[in-house]
Structure formats: structure tokens, C-alpha cells
Amino acid sequence: MRIINLNPDTNIGASSWFVDIEGHGLLMDAGTHPKLEGRESLPRYDLIRDENVIAIAISHCHHDHVGSLPMALRYFPQARVLMSELSYFLVERVLHNSVNVMKRQRDELGIREYPLFSHDEVDEIAPVFQGFRYNREIDYAWDAKPRANFVLPTLEFYDAGHALGSAGLMVRGQKETLFYTGDVCFHDQTILRKARFENVKADVLIMETTRGNRALPPGFSRESETERLRLSIQRVLARGGSVLLPTFALGRTQEVLALMALWMSEGKLNPQPIYIGGLGRVFTEIYDLEAHRTHRQYPNLQLREALNLIVLDQGQATKMKLGGGRLFVITAGMMSEKTAAHDLGMRMIGDENQAIFFVGYTDPDTPGGRLKAAPQGADFVFSPSAGSVSRRCEVDEFDLTAHANRNDLLDFVGIVDPRTVVLGHGEESSRKWFEDEIRSRYPRIKIIQPVVGGTLNV
């Protein structure tokens, strides 16, 4: 089996893996790098331009896994695009949103090569997308010539419990198997139940390592953490301050909204409107509409009915009054420039009455990361457009992760029992932790830290 890591960076970056299993090429994920701009943000498709990519399989609809799908299809126009059925309902929305974001960045940040693809291109490629239920074996090498005694490789999606539609990918050849975790969560979230990766066995495992550099504090539980969040929100609202939870539109937004819906229905949080972003609304609607197809908790909870959700209009974040205790659950999770979370944050940071609570990963090199790192009362540069601001608002962080905790992933390695594990989707310190732990716990397993564009014969 031959694997090429196409991520242009050594950290989480843009996920994309080429795998050749018994002569059949498959591209797994086609992401974009959230911190790089223009063509720099793309996976290194140029390295595999001469490969025969029969199919492109998408693990889930976060940008770092699907954001460059139209570019990948320019290299491999004959490829089918395979994903879980739930991702199938999301993917076009995500890609059209990417076009809008890129256009805005071209106009406002002067990135001339944007947009890298157009709305028309998204519409043109959409007919080759195919959605599949979890745990159905798919013959992905459909155009390969059947030969005597030859079993075609197959692909199967496993529920990864990370965000709606998220999947781990099992590729089975005649002689060997590969499992790619995508982004995975081994504990129940508020809506989504944990991954169903039971009984996964494979010769080669490609694994995410997001939380390798993060130990859970002693006594940590998700329940106590959500309770801490609820009490913090209540405290800020009671003093007339507003609360901003910067979140990603797909997944985290719906998980936080579900918490609030439960709190309000149980009388633990006073009912009040919640302001969300336009894209957050779209994905919330899809979470509601596809509730019956989803392996989830509270299957009858419809967020749009349980909550009074108000979509923030373009530009409203810079104008609306913040007194009187408002609740905002809006993008972007890292408060990147030109987002509602950034614009609201800019107005809240200097006001000690307001609170900004983070509920997900924040890269240190983003406005959100810089806000978190700044000491209380200190001046710091929030972003190039906001300039230097003084941190006076309340800032806190709540660990409501949608990624597997590192010890759960380590246990999973033992279940899969591969001959080789390839460590991806993590910072260097995270991958190093896994390398050391796997080496001491499972000494027979070969561990690979892939380099950018490196070919792995595994």
C-alpha cells in the first residue's frame, strides 16, 4: 500500500491523503488550510497529478477536510466523490459558503487569487457527489476491469461522532486494509453520540492526533464543564452583560444551542433570544431536518422550535446594543477578521461587563488565540484591522471538545491493532506524544510521522 500525505503543513493544516491500494487510487479528504491564504492553503495535489485517482472520499464537511474539493476535481475530473449521506446534505452549502468567504477576502483583504472556485463550478461538480449510509460497503473502484480471482477494493463509512455526517473511512483491498479516522470523538456530545468504531481492525491506521498535547485535568467531566459554562453565562447575564460564544458554524454551534435549549426547558437558564449567524442557521436547520437519520441524543429536540433564534444581519454586529444581557453563538470560532464574532469581539473586549467564552480549539496565531493569551488589563494586538486593544472583558475557556481525548485514541490503536500507524491532523507536540505512548504500549506497531508530500510504502 502506498500513501502520500498532501497536507501542505506539518500541523493540522489541510487534510488530504492519497492512497494506492492494490493499484487503485483513492483520495481521502480535500481540505484547505485555515491559516494559509490563496493557493498556499491547498493540499499538494500537484504531487499526484499523474496518479489514477478513481474516487475522492470525504470524511466530513469541515473546511480543513472538504474546502478544496472543487480544486481536487480539476486534477481528477473523472473521479467519483463519495461521502456519508449526512455530509451529502451539507457539502454544497459548505462549498458555496467558501466562495462567499473567498470573495469577501478578495475585496476586503486584497487576496487577488480569490475566489479559487466559483458558485457555478460548485453547481457543475455537484452531480458527481454520492451519499452513502454508514456501514455499507461500497465498490469504489467501479471502472476497474474485473479480473478472475480479483476482489475490487471497497470503501465503508463509519460514524465518527464528531459533527453531523462525520465518518471514518475503511478501505478494504484483497490483501490488506486501511482505516482513516478523519476527525473522531469517542465520547457523547450533547447532540451527537460517540463514534461507532467498534470492531475496527486494519493493517494500516491513519489517525488524527488533535488532542495529543492536552491531558484532561484530574476530575474533569463534560457534565461539570457544561455546568460551569451555564453558571458563568448566568452570572454575566445577571449583571446585564452580554455573552459571546465564538463557534464554528457546523457542529459546535448546534451542540451549544442544544445545551441552551435543555437548560431553558429545565428552568436552569431564563428563556431569551439567541443571536446566531446565517451559516449557523443553515446547519442548525439541517441538524433538525436530519435528526431522524442521525445517531444522536434527544432525537425529538428541534433547536429551531425549542429556541428563539435570531439571525444577525450583515453589519449588525458592529451596531447593535450590547447592554441588557444578550447571548451570541456565532462564527468564527477563532474570531478571524471579517466575521461577526470578530466585529462583536472588538466592541466587547474593552468592556468589563461583557464576556467572551471559548468552547473549542483556538489557534494561538488567530485573534481569538491572542485574546485568550493576553493578560487581563493588558493591551494587545487583536487583529490587523482592530489594532491594539485593552483586554477588560471576562474571558474564559470551556472544554466541550468534539475530538477524541488522547487516551481514548490510544486505546483505539490497541483495538485496531495495525502493523503501521500514520499520525496526522495534529501539532508536532501532539504527534510526538502519540509516538512515545504507542511505542511504549504497543511496541510491535510501526509509527510513521509523515512529512509534507512524502510517499509512504506501508
Contact residues toward Zn ion (CB under 5 A) are 62, 64, 183
What is the 8-class DSSP label of residue 127? G
Distance of closest approach, residue 311 Cβ to Zn ion, in angstroms: 24
Distance of closest approach, residue 15 Cβ to Zn ion, in angstroms: 6
Residue placing its CB nearer to Zn ion in the complex, 24 or 62: 62
**What residues have CB less than 8 Å from 292, skipping those under 6 apart?**
299
Residue placing its CB nearer to Zn ion in the complex, 29 or 394: 29
* Cα separation, 66 vs 103, whole angstroms: 18
Among residues 112, 207, 215, the alpha carbon closest in space to that of 169 is found at 207
Cα within 13 Å of Cα(384), Cβ side: 5
∠ CA 294-359-430, rounded to 5°? 90
Using only the alpha carbons of the chain, give its radius of gyration: 22
Return the C-alpha cell found at 421.
Answer: 500507524
* Cα separation, 168 vs 230, whole angstroms: 32
Residue placing its CB nearer to Zn ion in the complex, 32 or 226: 32
Residue placing its CB nearer to Zn ion in the complex, 64 or 394: 64
Residue placing its CB nearer to Zn ion in the complex, 317 or 400: 400
Residue placing its CB nearer to Zn ion in the complex, 64 or 399: 64
336 within 8 A of 248, measured Cβ to Cβ: no
47 within 8 A of 455, measured Cβ to Cβ: no
Amino acid at 72: A
Residue placing its CB nearer to Zn ion in the complex, 93 or 347: 93
Distances (CA, A) of 429 to 14, 24, 61: 18, 34, 26
Residue placing its CB nearer to Zn ion in the complex, 62 or 431: 62
Distance of closest approach, residue 449 Cβ to Zn ion, in angstroms: 18
Among residues 287, 426, 255, the alpha carbon closest in space to that of 434 is found at 426
Which residues partner with 390 through β-bridges? 379
Distance of closest approach, residue 190 Cβ to Zn ion, in angstroms: 17
Distance of closest approach, residue 159 Cβ to Zn ion, in angstroms: 14
182 within 8 A of 397, measured Cβ to Cβ: no
* Cα separation, 318 vs 398, whole angstroms: 26
Distance of closest approach, residue 17 Cβ to Zn ion, in angstroms: 13
Distance of closest approach, residue 251 Cβ to Zn ion, in angstroms: 7
Distance of closest approach, residue 256 Cβ to Zn ion, in angstroms: 16
Distance of closest approach, residue 63 Cβ to Zn ion, in angstroms: 9
Cα within 13 Å of Cα(101), Cβ side: 21
What is the arrangement of strands in the sheet containing 204-208, beginning at the earlier edge strand? 138-139, 154-159, 167-172, 177-180, 204-208, 420-424, 446-448
Residue placing its CB nearer to Zn ion in the complex, 62 or 406: 62
